[in-house]
Amino acid sequence: MADQDDREKPGRDRRDWRRVLVDLEVDYGNADNFLFAYISDISETGIFIRTNTPEDPGTRLNLRFMPDDGNRQMLQLEGEVIWVNNLRPENPDNINPGMGVKFVSLDRETRHRLVEYIKTFAFLDDPEEESAIEPPQSDERAN
C-alpha cells in the first residue's frame, strides 16, 4: 500500500519498477486488428509503445516481440492499455505519442525471461535477494 508521500509524487516517481530505454519492434492487437510499432521503454510490469494511434485505456492487447537475448523465441504476452499520450501536432512539446501498457497474467517462466532480458542491459534489484540480506550490524559495543 502506498504511503502519503508516494501519493503526492508525480506519476513517474510513483513507479515501483524501474523502466529502461529500449528500441524493440512489437506487434500488438486485439480482436479487431493487428499493428506494428516500437517499444521505447520496458520494465518487469509493462511497456511504452510509441504510436500515433494509441488504443483507448482499458483495451486488452496481445503483444509479440523478440528480445535480443540470444534465445530467438518470441515473447507473447497479454497487456492492458493503462494510459495514452495522443498525438497533438499543434503542440511541439508532445514528442512521445503512444500508450503505456501493463502486462497481465504473466506466468512465472515468461516473467523470468523478461526480467533476465532486462538484466542484460540494466541493473535490477531482485526483491527475493533483498529479503535474504540481513541488515548490517552496528559497530557500537555495549560498555
> In sequence order, what E strands does the chain have?
20-29, 34-42, 46-50, 60-65, 75-85, 98-104
pLDDT digits (tens, 9 = 90+) for 10-30: 444 444 556 778 888 899 988
| Residue 52 counted as domain residue | yes
How far is Cα of residue 62 from the mean position of the Cα atoms in its chain? 15
| Residue 5 counted as domain residue | no
Note the pLDDT of residue 124. 52
| Residue 93 counted as domain residue | yes
User: What range does the domain containing 93 cover?
Assistant: 14-122
| Residue 39 counted as domain residue | yes
CATH number at residue 108: 2.40.10.220
Q: pTM for the full model?
A: 0.71
For the chain, the domain total comes to 1
| Residue 131 counted as domain residue | no
